[in-house]
Amino acid sequence: MSEQVFLITSEIKTYPWGKKGQASLVAQLASIPDCHVDESVTYAELWMGTHPAAPSRVLDSGKLLSEHLAANPHLLGEPVINRFGLKDGNLPFLFKVLSFDKALPVQIHPNKSLAERIHANQPERYGDPNHKPEMALALSQFHVLCGFLPGFQMLAYLSSVPEFASMFSQDLIDNLSSAVQQKDADRQKGVLKELWSTLLKANKAAVEQNLSTLVDRYRSAKVSPEEEKVKPLLLRLYDMYPGDHGVFCAFMMNYYVLNEGHALSVTVGEPHAYISGDIIECMATSDNTIAAAFCPEEDKDIDNFLAGVQVSPALGKTLIQPTMFTPGSTHTNGTLVFNPGINELAVMQVIVAKSHIEGHRPRRGPSIAIVTDGAGTIVWADGSKRLHLKRGQVVFIGQGTAVKFSAGERPFHLYRAFVEVPLD
């Protein structure tokens, strides 16, 4: 029978928006043996899991993690296998570290039915039929656009920013104004989606001209208090993607700045664009991203984006409130649980103080942990087995395994993604 705890590899993905070379946290944490960091390469994502686009391997044997789990299903546990219909040793979650200083595409992730349809129609573009709800946990200051602004806030920008308002017909703006005044939530959703559709399908030359005029005004003259709040964001997006439709998202989407240790959830269909930062990300196992802006034209899929986008302005409801990990645990006061309400996943932030121990009770599902700072030891099997862990190393922990994390002469930081099936 396989060991319950063992080291696995992480796999690097490079994208244009990643940070370069050693400036990237992804490059710093990469645990691929003999990995050479090229200072000209943008290291964007570090993947840990079984997704075939960048699968982890068992470090000692080199065998695919999925193959190892298929041969040792006790590591997943029958309840998890049955609940999520797992096959071929696949995990229900995908765990990542992202490091980026340029905005990712404005995008949504599909629900299950849309994912199945687009995978069937375009398997080369959408490589799996799964949905992709996700969460992001800041490791440094994290700037992000997520979800639609409430109608009244968008209406304020339409009233104060003529270059933005000129992208839409007056009838459409009047419809939004009427829906806001009447507090008709369903009607507001319909108008907001129509505004979004109009912007994304707008003539490129008109978008470029209006943005150029707006940016010139912002850089050369004083602006209204309403515009002053959004001006730095818009100029930043314009510098990243001059002339792109997505720059106008500054007037249409919620803008968050999250400090280290704060997290948000992204539901299926929720528009979002990560702008800059270093984050832990965890999602249902999928690589399905439907992009609409901040990317090459050939990567955009406006029709499927509009088919899947959910218009649910809910300012503040995106943030995840962590809880202390205490029930059934021992020696634990440095573990926080970030539960986004997604069946497939949750994430623990584990900070082991100098010379201290964090004990975690057995979980009813598998987990993966990555060390982000310091070094320490993981102990299991009633203290009879242990592994020394250092920064960047990734460990798989089989279901039903009680573990303890101990620190030496300095604190020991790690993040642990897990899935757990509730007791009946």
Residue 261 lies in a domain: no
pLDDT at 327 (0 to 100): 53
Final residue before a domain boundary, out of 234, 251, 268: 251
Hey, how many other C-beta atoms are within 10 angstroms of the C-beta on 111?
16
Residue 399 lies in a domain: yes
Q: What is the pLDDT of residues 242-258, one digit of tens each?
A: 999 999 999 999 999 99
Q: What is the CATH number of the domain that holds 181?
A: 1.10.441.10
What are the binding residues for Zn(2+)? 107, 109, 134, 272
Please name which of 271, 132, 248, 268 lies closest in space to residue 193, comparing C-alpha atoms: 271
- CA dist 352 and 412 (Å) reads 5
DSSP string, 368-380: EEEEEESEEEEEE
pLDDT at 1 (0 to 100): 63
pLDDT at 387 (0 to 100): 98
Q: What is the CATH number of the domain that holds 373?
A: 2.60.120.10
Hey, how many other C-beta atoms are within 10 angstroms of the C-beta on 41?
16
Residue 88 lies in a domain: no
Considering the domain architecture, whether residues 242 and 328 belong to the same structural domain is answered as no
Q: Over pLDDT 70: what percentage of the chain?
A: 96
Q: Of 127-141, 168-182, 324-338, which gets the smallest average pLDDT?
A: 324-338
What are the binding residues? 107, 109, 134, 272
Alpha helices in 31-125 (DSSP H): 65-71, 78-84, 112-121
Question: Domains in the chain: how many in total?
Answer: 2
Final residue before a domain boundary, out of 251, 274, 302: 251
Residue 262 lies in a domain: no
Residue 354 lies in a domain: yes
Final residue before a domain boundary, out of 227, 251, 275: 251
pLDDT at 311 (0 to 100): 86
Alpha helices in 143-203 (DSSP H): 151-160, 162-165, 170-181, 185-200
The pTM score is 0.95
pLDDT at 315 (0 to 100): 44
pLDDT band at 221 (very low <50, low <70, confident <90, very high): confident
Amino acid at 193: K
Residue 188 lies in a domain: yes
List the domain range (segments joined by +) for residue 211: 150-251
Q: What is the pLDDT of residues 349-408, one digit of tens each?
A: 999 999 999 999 999 999 999 999 999 999 999 999 999 999 999 999 999 999 999 999
pLDDT band at 330 (very low <50, low <70, confident <90, very high): low
Selected residue with higher pLDDT from 314 and 203: 203
pLDDT band at 194 (very low <50, low <70, confident <90, very high): very high
pLDDT at 224 (0 to 100): 86
Q: What is the pLDDT of residues 255-300, one digit of tens each?
A: 999 999 999 999 999 999 999 999 999 999 999 999 999 999 999 9
Please name which of 363, 386, 364, 362 lies closest in space to residue 376, comparing C-alpha atoms: 386
Residue 301 lies in a domain: no
pLDDT band at 318 (very low <50, low <70, confident <90, very high): confident
**pLDDT over 80 (residue 155):** yes
Selected residue with higher pLDDT from 365 and 421: 365
Strand, coil or helix: what is 118? Answer: helix
pLDDT at 154 (0 to 100): 94
Residue 347 lies in a domain: yes
